[in-house]
Amino acid sequence: MKKLSYACGISDKPLIGMTIGDMFDQTVDRYPDNDALIVRHQHIRYTYRQLREKVDECAKALLALGLEKGDRLGVWAPNCAEWTITQLATSKIGVIQVNINPSYRLHELEYALNQSGCKAIVTADQFKTSKYTEMIYELAPELYVCEPGQLKAEKVPDLRTVVRLHTEPSSGMYTWSEMLSHAEHATDEQLAEIQGSLFFDEAINIQYTSGTTGYPKGATLSHHNILNNGYLVTEIMKFTDQDRLIIPVPLYHCFGMVMGNLGCIAQGATMIYPSEGFEPAAVLEAVEVESATALYGVPTMFIAELEHPDFNNYDLSSLRTGIMAGSPCPVEVMKQVNDLMNMKEVEIAYGMTETSPVSTQTRHDAPLEKRVSTVGRVLPHTEIKIIDPETGQVVPVGEKGELCTRGYCVMLGYWNDPEKTKAAIDEARWMHTGDLATMDEDGYFNIVGRIKDMVIRGGENVYPREIEEFLYGHPKISDVQVIGVPDPKYGEEIMAWVKLKEGETATADEIKAYCQGHIAHYKIPRYVKFTADFPMTVTGKIRKVEMREVSIKELGLTEADNIQTA
């Protein structure tokens, strides 16, 4: 009988059965003088004791402004201290924090606020080219004539309170300090009573997934979901209260707020934000100056750090571990991070927002090949199976299929969207990821692509990840992404977008010649486009949908794209 692709994470460590607020207080009591939060671009350094003072002040202020358990509060800002203070404050009073993507434009903001029914929003003034204050006034011009906290807007009818992260006052909005001044109207006893009434299975966070079609879906996560995921991820990394983690990934995403913030808080470790948004030099400097022991990032971030012209001038000897995740991790990049950045215990994690996010993770004591070329083994207290998407049957070990996850980490559902929830989570509570994966005899998983990303060329199933991994071995290539584009003869053809290392030049024929005789002829890219950058989300995920649209236009393939198929 063939062994099936099913794994269950066994553990002698129980899950944490408490709310985020209670866990935070427990950590503060245990490590009051440990560095808790360092925000280098704001020149802020808080111990755990100091951070609790800020969190409790914010929680009481929100109560005084009329926010109640179950209300939704949006946060629309890049990485900053106020983001994390709000995250922890809402967890203490049962207000559901809605993470709003810093790159959202006006119509996306309007959708998120209305779909979640946000009663309040904490917003930055601006970030990069996004002028948040201007956009909010455009969305709710009634702010010009209302008192702060008294908004009644036609386009966002649920929104009452806007808190602007700026020292200058604005019509109809509170500044952060003005909002905090309301804390004197609530008592410590009121806060303790409300915090004590919360239960860990209740919703505490809504994260909008970036879906390739239609409007984003609001993945609704509980205290239990995200606190335990952050805890287990850092347990596997052997975190202690002495670890110091650089978090350059955006907080609005699970990578930052769960694996970063909550992972540190569960262990009494230090959260360090090097800059508002990702800047490779700021990351490298923060590692050296703060004697960081761990670093997070998506592959494109690690590539940018390794290729920084001053890379060799930074002392990275304090680093021990870290995580590369968020998108497929090239084997060659993992090896460089392992060797050149002193991250001998660096790990890969895989998951999705709907699973809080991590389902699999490599272990520091695994063989090198398993650590750099797989996404690891199943997390404790989690189940994974790989199924045939057509039949739903679990496939034998080694065969490709859709990865499904079940356990404490699976979201409560999509906010106010039972139909999409039902389409994603089946009756047995398995979350269907849409990712194609394999499992080997030792229980290690590989992600080979998205079901929707798979290219079918002349009847052959082609997995872009396989070609990308091969091309990463080319000495001139810094980064590469492979997509399918329409073709009248084969249905689809292979196209590679190639980013060359600095100072290098190459031709399309040279790239194709590198492939000849080494990969199957039908996997060799017909089209090669050289690019300086890839279109990507703020979290560093490559937008292959946008790449395909650009390629169809540039290659004149619109007619082929319009050919109807069964």
Spatial strand order of the sheet with 527-530 comes to 477-487, 491-500, 527-530
| Helical residues (DSSP H) of 37-149, grouped into ranges | 48-64, 81-93, 106-116, 132-139
Residues 6 or more apart whose CB falls under 8 angstroms from that of 144 comprise: 137, 171, 172
Residue 465 placed within a domain: yes
Task: Give the Å distances, CA to CA, from 336 to 246, 286, 313, 380.
Answer: 18, 20, 16, 29
pLDDT at 212: 42
Distance CA 3, CA 441 (A): 8
Residues 280 and 427 in one domain: yes
Residue ranges in the chain modelled with pLDDT below 50: 212-213, 564-566
Distance CA 526, CA 487 (A): 11
Residues 231 and 157 in one domain: no
Last residue of a domain, one of 425, 450, 475: 450
pLDDT at 528: 97
Question: For the purposes of burial, counting CB atoms within 10 Å of the CB of 429, is it exposed (0-12), middle (13-18) or buried (19 or more)?
Answer: exposed
Distance CA 403, CA 354 (A): 13
- Two structure tokens written together for 263: 């992972």
384 sits in which H/E element: strand 382-387
Residue 208 placed within a domain: no
Last residue of a domain, one of 400, 430, 450: 450
Distance CA 87, CA 66 (A): 17
Where residue 474 sits, what CATH number does that domain have? Answer: 3.30.300.30
Residues 467 and 555 in one domain: yes
Residues 284 and 414 in one domain: yes
Residue 205 placed within a domain: no
Residues 195 and 221 in one domain: no
Residue 234 placed within a domain: yes
Q: Own/partner pairs for 442-445, CB < 8 Å, 24+ apart?
A: 442/370, 442/377, 443/7, 443/377, 443/378, 444/366, 444/370, 444/374, 444/375, 444/376, 444/377, 445/350, 445/360, 445/374, 445/375, 445/376, 445/377, 445/378, 445/384, 445/403
Residues 422 and 527 in one domain: no
What residue type is assigned to position 19 of the chain? T
Last residue of a domain, one of 398, 424, 450: 450
- Two structure tokens written together for 108: 């996306």
Residue 442 placed within a domain: yes
State the helix-helix crossing angle for 188-196 and 81-93, rounded to 10 degrees: 70
* Cα separation of the two ends of the chain: 37
pLDDT at 94: 98
Other beta carbons less than 10 A from residue 289's beta carbon: 14
pLDDT at 210: 63
Residues 355 and 437 in one domain: yes
Residues 408 and 444 in one domain: yes
pLDDT at 329: 82
Task: Give the Å distances, CA to CA, from 52 to 33, 354, 369, 449.
Answer: 11, 29, 42, 42
Distance CA 433, CA 453 (A): 13
Q: Name the nearest CA neighbour of 380 among 236, 209, 532, 505.
A: 236
Number of domains the chain is built from: 3
Task: Tell me the sheet residues that pair with 391.
Answer: none
Residues 370/418, Cβ–Cβ less than 8 Å: no
Q: What is the pLDDT of residues 98-117, one digit of tens each?
A: 999 888 888 889 999 999 99
pLDDT at 566: 29
Largest CA distance in the chain: 74
Residues 375 and 518 in one domain: no
Distance CA 325, CA 308 (A): 20
Instruction: Write down the residue that tokens 């520091």 correspond to.
Output: 364
Where residue 53 sits, what CATH number does that domain have? Answer: 3.40.50.980
- Sign of the four-CA dihedral 448, 452, 453, 458: positive
Residue 444 placed within a domain: yes
pLDDT at 459: 67
Residues 460 and 480 in one domain: yes
Where residue 324 sits, what CATH number does that domain have? Answer: 3.40.50.12780
Distance CA 539, CA 534 (A): 13
Residues 426 and 291 in one domain: yes
Q: What is the pLDDT of residues 413-468, one digit of tens each?
A: 999 999 999 999 999 999 999 999 999 999 999 988 778 787 878 767 787 888 99
Distance CA 553, CA 405 (A): 38
230 sits in which H/E element: helix 223-236
Question: For the purposes of burial, counting CB atoms within 10 Å of the CB of 108, is it exposed (0-12), middle (13-18) or buried (19 or more)?
Answer: middle
Residues 446 and 474 in one domain: no
**170: containing domain:** 20-30+42-199
